[in-house]
Amino acid sequence: MTSHVMPAHSDSHSSADNYLTASKGFLSWALTLDHKRIGLMYLIGTMTAMFIGGFLALLLRAEHLSGAPGFVNHDTYNQLFTLHGAIMVFLFIIPSIPGALGNFILPVMLGAKDVAFPRMNLCSFYLWVFGAIFFVGALLTTGLDTGWTFYTPYSTNTSQTNVVLATLGAFILGFSSIFTGLNFIVTIHTMRPPGMTWFRMPLFLWSLYATAIIQVLATPVLGITLLLLAAERMFGLGIFDPKLGGDPVLYQHFFWFYSHPAVYIMILPGMGIISELISTFSRKAIFGYRFIAFSSMAIALLGFLVWGHHMFASGQSEMITIVFSALTFSVSIPSAIKVFNWLATMYKGSIVLATPMCYALSFLFLFTIGGLTGLFLGALATDIHLHDTYFVVAHFHYVMMGGTLVAFVGGLFYWWPKMTGKMYNEFWGQISALIVFVAFNLTFFPQFVMGSRGMPRRYYNYLPEFQVYHVLSTIGAFLLGFGLLLAAVVLIVSLFKGRKAPANPWGAATLEWQCSSPPPLANFEKTPTVGNPYDMQSVVWDPDTESFVRRGDVPIVPDETEQPAHA
Amino acid sequence: METFRNLLDPFPSQQSTFAANVDAIYYFIFWLSTFFFVIIVAMMCYFVVKYRRVEGQEPEKSPSHNTPLEVTWSVVPGILVLGIFWWGFTGYVDMRSPPAETYDINVTAQMWSWQFKYGTGAVDAELHVPVGTPVRLIMQSKDVIHSLFVPVFRVKQDVVPGRYSGLWFEAKEVGKFELFCTEYCGQKHSDMITKVVVHATDEANVTDEVPQTFDKWLEVASDPLEGGRIPLEQAGEKVIGMFGCLQCHSIDGSNKVGPSFKGHFGQQVQTRDGSVLMDENYIRESILEPNAKIRQGYDPKMPSFKGSMKDEWIDAVIAYIKSIQ
C-alpha cells in the first residue's frame, strides 16, 4: 500500500484563491477534475431531483385528500408514484450523500488532494446526468407505470409505458454509482497521508467505505437484471415471464439482491454523518469508535444476506422464508449498537443545538422509529399482514427520509460553510429542522396506523374509513415540503448575505476543518496534521477570529505508536 | 375520546383463528419497541438539557469506550430479536400448515377482478366461505402477479402466474369483510377489491347481513338458471355478477376498461381490423376468445372465460345484454 504524499505548497495561488475562484467559465466547471467542484455539481443535480421527486409526492398526497377520483386519473396516479419512487431512489437517495457530500468531503477529510481517479469521478457525474435524462425522457414520452421495482411480468408483457427507456436510465445510473464506489475504495486504500491509519479515519469515511463496497458488489447485479428485463421485453426471451417459460419470482430475487443492499447504500453514509455531527456538537470523542466502524462493515456484509425478506408473501419456499427472517434480525443489532453509542457520546458532553445537531437529534428520533418498526416486518407472522400495506410505506420513509434525507440535510448544514465559505442564519436553520421534524411525523405516523388496519399501498382509490389518516398525512406532507424549502432558502440566502465562514466554525477535529473555507484548489496549503479525529479539546474557541483554532497552534507530530482513536 | 381511541387502534377485528396470535406478536413488538424508544428519547432529551453547552467550559473527562457496556447493548437486543423471530416463525408455520381436512376453493386472479370457483361448478366474484371450517384457497393468475389480502383474517399471499399458490384460514364469525389485491397489477389495481362473505352453516345462525347458509348459497350459485324457473335475462344478470363483468363493462352506456353492454347490440361496431356485427355470435366469441376481434379504442385486456362459463350461462348473458338495449 502506498502512502500519498501531499504536494508541496504552491506559491502560484495566493491564499485568497480557493477552488471556487481558481478558474472561471463554463468549461472550467464542465471539464473540471476537482472533486470539490464535481461534488458541488452533484449537489445541484441531486437537489433538483429531490425537489422534483418531492413535488410528485405532493401531487400524490393531494390526490388522496379524498377517496374519490380527484384531479388525476388511475393512469396518471400510477405514473406519479412510479416516478416519485424511481427519481427519489435512483436520482436522489443513492447518489446524494456519496456523490455530493462524499465527493466533496472524503478527500479533504482523508488529507488527500483529490480522489484516486479524478477523470472517472467526472465520468460518474456525467453518467448520472445522462441516466437522469433517460429517466426524464421516459417521463415525458409515455410515462412509466410499473412502480420503481419494475416487477415482472407486468413490466415485460403488460405495461404500455416506456419500460425499456427507464431501465436503460437506471442501468446507466448504476455505472455512475459503481464508479463512485470504486473511486472511494481506491482512494481510502492508497491515498491516506502519513499518520492516517485506518483507525484514525473519521467514521464518515468508514461509512463511505462500507457503502462503496456495496456499490461495487451489488450494483452490477441490478445492471444485468435490468438488461435481462429489457431483453425479455424487446426480444421475447423467456426469463421472467411464465408465458415464455420464465419465472417472475426469479426477477424479484435478482432485483432485491441489489435493492436490499442498496437500502444500506442509502442509510450507511447518513449514519456516518450523524457520528460526525453528534460528536462535534457534544464536543466529545465519539463513544465506541471501533464498534461503530465495525458495525458499518457488519451492516454492509449482512445487508447482502437478507434480500428475501421483501418476498415473504411471494410464494418463495417456506424454508427460505424462515432463514431470511432470522438473518434479517441480525442486521438490527449493528444498527442498535450505533444508536446506543451516539447516545453515550452525548453523555457528559457540551451540547449545543446548532442547526446540524437539530437535524442529527431529529435523525436519532426518526431512525429509531424506522428501525424498530422493521421488527414488525422482520417477524414472519406480522409481516404477512403488514406486507404491501402503508405500514411498509411508513417504515421505509422513516428510514430513508427520516434517516437518510434528514442526515443529508444535517450534513449539508454542517459542511455548508466549508463548501461555500458562508455562514447561514442559525435561527432559521433551526426553525427548518423543527418544521421538518414535526411535519415528517405528521405525514408518516398516520400511515403506520392505516397500514396496520389494512390499507394496501399503491392504491389510487381507497375505502372511506382510511380518509382521516390520508388527510393528516397530506397536511403533513405539504408542511414537510415547506420545511425543506425553508432549509433550501436559508442556505441560498447565505450565499448572498451570509458572513464569511471561518476555517473551523464548529470546533471539529477532523482534517477538513484545518484548511480554509472554502478550501484551496489543492485542499491544503500545508500538509495537515493527522491526529485523533475526535480530539475536540485539541481545538479551542478564538473570539478574535470567531473560529476554533488549534490549541496553541503547535503542530503535533503524528506518532505511529500512539494508541488509536478509541483508546 | 372513544373516537380518538378508535383512530389509534391499529387493527381491524379478528375474524380468523390465527388473527389473535398475530396481534399478540404485534403488541409484544409494539410494547418492547415503545419501551426502548421511550428510554432512547428520554435519555436524548435529558442529555440535551443536562449537558447543554456553557461557553468557555470544556466537558469533564469521560470514557470514550466501555467494552462490557457495548457488548451488553449488542447482546441484549440480539437475544430479544431472537425471541421475536421465534414467535413470528411459529406463527407463520401455523399459517402455512393447513389441517388435513379443508374445504377447497379455486381462485383465479386477473386484471382487475377475482373469480372464486367451487367444486359444484359454482363461480362468484366474491369469496363465499362457511364459518368455522378450515378453507383452503388454491390460487392462480391469468396475467400478472396479484396478491390476495384479507385484513380481518391477517392473511396474504401473492398469486403468481404460471404456478398455484396456496392459502388457508378458518373464519370465526358470520359477516362480510374486505378482500384486497395488494400486489400492484396495473391501471385499476386499487379497484381489485371484493368481499369475503362468511356464511353460517345452519339456519339458526344466519344474520341480516348474510341471510343464507353456505349450503343454500352454494346450491343457488351452482345453478344461476335455477333449473329454468327464472327468466333467462334475469339469470344472465346473475351470471354477470358472478363473473365480475361489471368491473370493466358498464350497463348504462358509459365506457370503462371495456365497451358498455348497453347500446351496441345489433349494430355494426368498429374493430381494430375493420368492423363486425354485434350479434349473439360476436358476444359468444368475445367471452371465449376475447382477443379475436378487439373493439376500436380498447386494449386487449380481457381474459378468456372458456371452461369456466358454461354454454347455457353464456346464453343467459346474451339474453341479458339484449334485454338492456
| Tens digits of residue pLDDT in B25-68 | 999 999 999 999 999 999 999 999 999 998 878 888 888 888 89
Q: How many residues does chain B have?
A: 325
**B187: contact with A, CB 8 A cutoff:** yes
ipTM of the complex: 0.88
Interface test mutation site (partner A, options B190, B191, B192, B254, max chain A beta carbons within 10 A): B190
Judge whether residue A555 has pLDDT over 60.
Answer: no
Which residue on chain A is closest to B256 by alpha carbon? A74
Task: Return the DSSP state at A563.
Answer: P
Q: Is the pLDDT of residue A91 over 80?
A: yes
The pLDDT of residue A12 is: 41
3-state secondary structure of B60: coil
Task: Give the mean pLDDT of chain A.
Answer: 90
DSSP symbol at A500 = B
Q: pLDDT tens digits for A172-201?
A: 999 999 999 999 999 999 999 988 999 999
C-alpha cell at A250: 426469479
Cβ–Cβ gap A378/B69 under 8 Å:
no
Residues A308-333 have pLDDT tens digits of: 999 999 988 889 999 999 999 998 99
Rounded to an integer, the average pLDDT of B162-182 is: 94
- Residues of chain A contacting B44 with CB distance shorter than 8 Å: 343, 346, 361, 364-365
Q: What is the pLDDT of residue B1?
A: 47
Task: Answer yes or no: do A329 and B81 touch at CB < 8 A.
Answer: yes
Q: Taking 90 as the threshold, does the pLDDT of residue A375 lie above it?
A: yes
Per-residue pLDDT at A538: 86
- A207-231 as b/e: b if 16+ CB within 10 A: bbbbbbbbbbbbbebbbebbebbbe
Task: List the single best residue of B31, B52, B85 to mutate versus A (max A Cβ within 10 A).
Answer: B85
Q: Say if residue B199's pLDDT is above 60.
A: yes
B183:A449 CB<8 A: no
Half-sphere exposure (Cβ direction) of B208: Cα atoms closer than 13 Å: 0
Predicted local confidence at residue A60, as pLDDT: 94
CA dihedral A129, A134, A139, A142 (to 10 degrees): 170
Interface of B with A in 19-58 (CB under 8 A): 21-22, 25-26, 29-30, 32-33, 36-37, 40-41, 43-44, 47-48, 51-58
B279: closest CA among B293, B298, B299, B296?
B293
| Residue B15, C-alpha cell as written in the block | 375474524
Position A1 scores a pLDDT of 36
Q: pLDDT at position B299, please?
A: 82
Highest mean pLDDT among A400-414, A513-527, A545-559, B284-298: A400-414
CA distance A193 to A170: 36
Cell numbers for A186, please give them.
Answer: 481506491
Please say if the pLDDT value at position A2 is more than 90: no
- The distance of A428 to chain B (nearest Cα, Å) reads 20
How close does chain A come to B114, measured CA to CA in Å? 17
Q: With a cut of 80, say whether residue A554 has pLDDT above it.
A: no
Q: Quick one: pLDDT at residue A552?
A: 64
- pLDDT class of A272 with cuts at 50, 70, 90: very high
3-state secondary structure B277-314: ECCHHHHHHHHHCCCCCCECCCCCCCCCCCCCCCHHHH
Taking contacts as CB-CB distances below 8 angstroms, the residues of chain B near A333 are 74, 77-78, 81
Cell triple for residue A17? Answer: 484563491
Least CB–CB distance from A385: residue in B78, B156, B162 = B156
**Vertex B210 angle, CA B204 and B214, to 5°:** 70
Residue A75 to residue B187, Cβ atoms within 8 A: yes
Output the pLDDT for position B2: 54
Give CA–CA dist B303/A135, Å, rounded: 32
A284/B62 Cβ within 8 A: yes
Give dist(CA A363, CA A371) in Å, integer. Answer: 11
Among residues of chain A, what percentage have pLDDT more than 90? 72
Q: Inform me whether the pLDDT recorded for A227 exceeds 70.
A: yes
- Sheet of B165-170: strands edge to edge? B123-124, B113-117, B103-110, B134-141, B165-170
pLDDT tens digit sequence for A437-483: 999 999 999 999 999 999 999 999 999 989 999 999 999 999 999 99
What integer pLDDT is reported at residue B66 of this predicted model?
87
Q: Do B41 and A387 touch (CB under 8 A)?
A: no
Element (H, E) at B113: strand B113-117
**Identity of the residue in B37, B66, B154 whose CB atom sits nearest the CB atom of A368:** B37
Select from B111, B137, B182 the residue whose CB has the most chain A CBs within 10 Å, as the one to mutate to test that interface: B182
A36, pLDDT greater than 50: yes
Report CA-CA distances (Å) from A284 to A277, A293, A539, B206, B238. 11, 17, 12, 70, 75
Q: Give the mean pLDDT of A541-561.
A: 66
Residues A277-300, mean pLDDT to the nearest whole number: 93
Q: Does B145 contact A151 at a Cβ distance shorter than 8 Å?
A: yes
Of the candidates A416, A421, A413, the residue with the CA atom closest to the CA atom of residue A18: A421
What is the structure's pLDDT at A561?
A: 45
Flag whether pLDDT at A234 surpasses 80.
yes
Share the mean pLDDT of chain B: 89
**Closest-approach residue (CA) in chain B for A334:** B74
Cα-based torsion angle of the residue sequence A144, B109, A377, A92 in order, rounded to the nearest 10 degrees: 0
Omega before residue B300 within 30° of 0, cis: no
**Is residue A557 scored above 80 in pLDDT?**
no
**A460–B190 CB contact, under 8 Å:** yes
DSSP string, A82-122: HHHHHIIIIIIIHHIIIIIIIHHHHHHHHT-SS-S-HHHHH
pLDDT in tens, A52-79: 999 999 999 999 998 778 889 888 999 9
* Strand partners of residue B213: B200
Give residues 104 to 133 of B whose Cβ lies within 8 Å of A: 111
Per CB-CB distance under 8 Å, the chain A contacts of B54 are: 350
Give the one of B53, B85, B91 whose C-beta lies nearest to A326's C-beta: B85
Closest Cα of chain B to A212: distance in Å? 25
Tell me which chain B residues have a C-beta less than 8 angstroms from the C-beta of A285.
64
Find chain A residues with C-beta within 8 A of B66's C-beta. Answer: 287-288, 344
* B115 Cβ contact list (under 8 Å, min separation 6): B107, B108, B109, B123, B124, B125, B243, B244, B308
Is the Cβ pair B162, A343 closer than 8 Å?
no
Answer for the pair A172, A179: CB distance below 8 angstroms, yes or no. Answer: no
Size of interface A-B (CB pairs under 8 A): 270
Environment class of A336 (CB within 10 Å of its CB; exposed 0-12, middle 13-18, buried 19+): buried
Whether the model clears a pTM of 0.95, i.e. scores above it, the answer is no
Contact B163 A351 (CB under 8 A): no
pLDDT of residue A165: 87
Which has the higher per-residue pLDDT, A562 or B131?
B131
| Position A473, amino acid | S
The phi and psi torsions of A234 (rounded to 5 degrees) equal -85, -40
Which run of H or E residues covers position A549?
Answer: strand A547-550
Confidence of residue A16 (pLDDT cuts 50, 70, 90): low
pLDDT at A18 > cutoff 50: yes
C-alpha cell at A492: 441560498
pLDDT in tens, B239-259: 888 888 887 888 888 888 888
**Confidence class for position A6, pLDDT limits 50, 70, 90:** very low
Q: What is the residue whose three cell numbers read 392473511?
A: B155
Torsion angles phi and psi, residue A379, rounded to 5? -75, 130
Cα angle for residues B94, B98, B104 (degrees, 5° grid) = 145
The predicted model gives B105-116 an average pLDDT of 92
Name the residue among B30, B155, B191 with its Cβ closest to that of A384. B155
Residue B3 has pLDDT above 80, yes or no: no
In the predicted structure, residue A491 carries a pLDDT above the cut 90? yes
Q: What is the pLDDT of residue B5?
A: 59
By CA distance, what is A282's nearest residue in B?
Answer: B53
Q: Which residues of B256-282 are buried (b: 16+ CB within 10 A; e: fewer)?
A: ebbbbbeebbeeeeeeeeeebebeeeb
Q: What pLDDT does residue A553 have? A: 59
Q: Which residue of B has its CA nearest to A535?
A: B64
Looking at CA atoms only, how far is residue A466 from chain B in angstroms?
10
CB-nearest to A283 from B58, B183, B193 is: B58
Which chain A residues have a beta carbon less than 8 Å from that of B92? 318, 321-322, 325, 380-381, 384
B124's CB contacts (< 8 A; 6+ apart) are B115, B116, B118, B221, B242
pLDDT of residue B227: 81
